Each structure stands twice: as C-alpha cells, then as structure tokens.
Amino acid sequence: MEIVWLAWAQRDLLSISAYYESIGDANLAGRMLQRIVHSASLLRDQPYLGRPSDSTDGVQELQVPRLPYLLPYRIIEGRIEILRVFHEAQDRPSKWQDQDKPGA
C-alpha cells in the first residue's frame, strides 16, 4: 500500500524538525523524523497495526514506539493517508479531520 502524508502531517514533520534544530540538535531532529517515518512505513504491510480511533470513524491511530507522537491515519482507495503527526502533550481534537479540505 502507498503511504501518503497529507499536507497537515507534512507541516507537523517540518515543525518537529525545526523545533529540534532550534534547540541545537539537528542530529536528534533527523533521528526523530526517521523513527516517525519508519513507524508509518510499517503500515504498508500491516495497515491495521494502529488501533481504531475512539473519536473518529474510519480513522486508526498508530503510536510511534518510545516517542510521544501519534499518527492518525485512514485507509482510502488502497492507500494509507497520514492525517497528522500529533504530539500527545497537545490538546487532542474532538475528531480527526482532513484539515486540508475546505470546511474541515
């Protein structure tokens, strides 16, 4: 299955990288992104590896091992769409949405 990082998830990745680079640790930024992307890549062979979301029908949530990040995703038309790279310290939305679509 193809993995597609939607625009909001791409922005999240850039923000994570910028944060770690801003505190002077570009190596850590690279390792964090590598672990996040690797975790998502596991979905190619195991698309239901995440657990069903309690808040949003049709969305699964994959916990990135040993990191405080959650990857909400959905499976549509034979591809996996990563909606966000969500830090668990943030206020969780009441519903996962495709924030790239108008009205979301």
What CATH architecture applies to the domain 2-87?
A: 2-Layer Sandwich (3.30)
The domains of the chain are located at 2-87
Please state the separation of Cα 55 from the chain's center in Å: 16
For 44-96, the pLDDT digits (tens) are: 999 999 999 999 999 999 999 999 999 999 999 999 999 999 999 998 888 88
pLDDT at site 102: 39
Are 18 and 26 in contact by the 8 Å Cβ rule? The answer is no
Count of alpha carbons within 13 angstroms of residue 70, beta-carbon side: 17
100 versus 79: the higher-pLDDT residue is 79
Does the pLDDT of residue 99 top 90, yes or no? no
Q: Encoding tokens for residue 45?
A: 């062979």
> What is the rounded CA–CA span in Å between residue 11 and residue 51?
24
Beta strands 2-5; 51-52: pairing state: unpaired
